Amino acid sequence: EVVHAAASHGAQSMERGVLLQGALAVTAIAASDNAYAGAIVGGASLGAQLISQSYGREAEREADLYGTRYLAEAGYDPAAAVQLQETFVRLSEGRTSQGWLQGLFASHPPSVERVQNNRELVAQLRAEGYTGGEQGEQRYQQQMAFLRETKPAYDAFDEAMTLIRDDRVEDAQQKLDEAIAMLPQEARFHGLNGDIALMQRRYSAAIDHYNSALARDDAYFDYYLGRGLAHARQGNRSRAQADLQASVDLLPTALAMNELGTMALADNNRNAAKQYFQQAASAPGSIGESARSAFLRLDVADNPANYLQTSAYVSNDGRVMVRVGNAAPMTITQASVELQASVGRERVRRVVDVRNLSAGDARDYDSGLVLPADVPPQAVQAQVLVRSASVN
């Protein structure tokens, strides 16, 4: 994936540095069923796309070429690249499930041809002197030993997560307590404790649990996010902003951006609020919808002419009419437009009030200006200016 990004495969218009950083930051989240997978915003969301990006045969071949060579130059056994592709081919045969691995195969299809190409590449590297190389089996087993020993704790944690999704919070708390008793140093367990307390609106307890999580792992965005939300619900805006910004610095999410936008608006910082809301608006679901509505409420008021389309014309009975169309994706509840017209040597102005104009709708309004019988419609020069608009 790093070679794909460095070589700009399918990403010519994207900043390489952003892609590389984003790929490393969010691959694990984007490739899983994590609740935040659809709510990553900003540059990191571009990086998240790498895991599902499809590439042509030549791009895949180039990625294999340099990726395997980097592997050898780093001191690892390049034959491992062949073994991995052989495993992918075996797993892809007769697959029926649609898990994340099958999604990966859809965008990165394994093939016998690719395996053979990699075998030839490894033979070439051997000829260049890259003999042996580390496979890291012993080191891997040493690292895995702890996870195997503590598996019951993580199983209890997984059960707690399932129970929460089933709205069985009390049972989830019991399983989580079991997990913490078995492995008190695991930060994620304390983080979930904070999540439960936050759901139950026990904000002080939630903060304590998030503090415990951060004492064990201060580099995970979710603990700052949860603690920031708890501080916000307690009205401690300064601490909330600091925590939410810390979470965004680690991984920008729509939830944090939306909350920061709400706080910026409370501080009467409209520009900052709009920036936060606009970034959060790209997310799916209720958070993105809320952010889009908040952004539009501000931007329609700040830039009403961007959302209202106006024109003037003369009706068959000589009345100067104003047509107003709503280009915003929501109802304009109130707007004020001004007709400026020249009829011969006379200049006139008329203000027209617009109310409850639905999205995509257009209406005609009588400006109150009637042409004298001896003045032809083509003698009228008119423009309509948008003065103000608002949405609820």
CB distance 7 to 59 below 8 Å: yes
221 and 235 in a single domain? The answer is yes
How much is the pLDDT for 48? 53
Whether residue 29 is predicted with pLDDT greater than 50 in this model: the reply is no
More confident residue, 55 or 50: 55
Element (H, E) at 369: strand 362-370
The tokens of 131 are what?
């003999």
CATH of the domain at 329: 2.60.40
Instruction: Tell me if 139 is assigned to some domain.
Output: no
Residues in contact with 6: Cβ distance below 8 Å, sequence separation at least 6, in sequence order: 16, 20
How much is the pLDDT for 11? 53
CB distance 288 to 259 below 8 Å: no
174 and 295 in a single domain? The answer is yes
166 and 37 in a single domain? The answer is no
Whether residue 196 is predicted with pLDDT greater than 70 in this model: the reply is yes
254 and 340 in a single domain? The answer is no
Number of folded domains that form the chain: 3
Expressed as residue numbers, the domain containing 332 is 304-390
Separation CA 307–CA 330 (nearest Å): 10
How much is the pLDDT for 177? 98
CB distance 10 to 55 below 8 Å: yes
163 and 266 in a single domain? The answer is yes
Whether residue 314 is predicted with pLDDT greater than 80 in this model: the reply is yes
Task: Supply the pTM of this predicted model.
Answer: 0.73
How much is the pLDDT for 157? 98
Instruction: Tell me if 141 is assigned to some domain.
Output: no
How much is the pLDDT for 343? 84
Q: Which residues pair with 383 in a beta bridge?
A: 340
Least confident of 11-15, 119-123, 209-213, 280-284: 11-15
Whether residue 242 is predicted with pLDDT greater than 90 in this model: the reply is yes
Q: What is the mean pLDDT of residues 367-382?
A: 89
110 and 44 in a single domain? The answer is yes
Residues in contact with 361: Cβ distance below 8 Å, sequence separation at least 6, in sequence order: 325, 326
Separation CA 145–CA 193 (nearest Å): 26
